A and B are shown apart, each in its own frame.
Chain A
Amino acid sequence: MTTHPEPVAYPFSEPDRLVVHPRYGELRDQGELERVQLPFGKPTWLATRHEDVKIVLGDPRFSREKALGEDEPRILSFTHRPDSILTMDPPGHTRLRKAVARAFTKRRIETIRPRTQQIVDELLDEMVAAGDTADLVRQFALAVPMMVICELLGGPYEDRHKFHHWSEILASTRSSKHTKEDIAQADKELRDYLAELVDTKRANPGDDLLSVLVETEQTDDPLTPEEIVGLAWSVLLAGFEITTNMLVNSVYLLLTNPDQREQLVQEAGLLEKAVEELLRFVPLTVGSFFPRMALEDVELSGTLVRKGETVLPSTLAANRDEAVFPNADQLDFHRDSNAHLTFSYGIHHCLGAPLARMELQVAIGTLLRRLPGLRLVAEDELPWRSGSILRGPSSLLVTW
Chain B
Amino acid sequence: MSGWSVEIDARTCIGTGMCVGAAPKYFQRKSSKSVPVHDHVEPDEDLLDAAFACPAEAIRVRDEATGDVLVPEA
Contact = CB atoms under 8 A, between A and B. Distances in A.
A binds B: yes
B44 to A, nearest CB: 12
Contacts of A101: 52-55
Given A101-B55, A105-B57, A106-B56, A346 B49 contact: no
9 closest cross-chain pairs (CB), A and B: A347-B21, A349-B16, A346-B17, A346-B21, A58-B17, A101-B53, A94-B22, A97-B53, A98-B49
A356 to B, nearest CB: 11
Contact of A346 (B18, B32, B54, B73): B18
Interface residues of A, number: 27
B37 interface: no
Contacts of A343: 16
A60 B21 contact: yes
A93 B23 CA distance: 11
Interface residues of B, number: 22
Interface string A72-104: 000000000000000000110111011001101
26 contacts: A57-B17, A58-B17, A58-B20, A58-B29, A60-B21, A60-B24, A90-B21, A94-B46, A94-B53, A97-B18, A98-B52, A101-B55, A102-B73, A106-B57, A343-B16, A345-B17, A346-B16, A346-B17, A346-B18, A346-B20, A346-B21, A347-B18, A347-B22, A348-B21, A353-B16, A353-B55
A51 B15 CA distance: 14
B24 A107 contact: no
Most chain B CB neighbours (cut-off 10 Å) among A54, A98, A104: A98
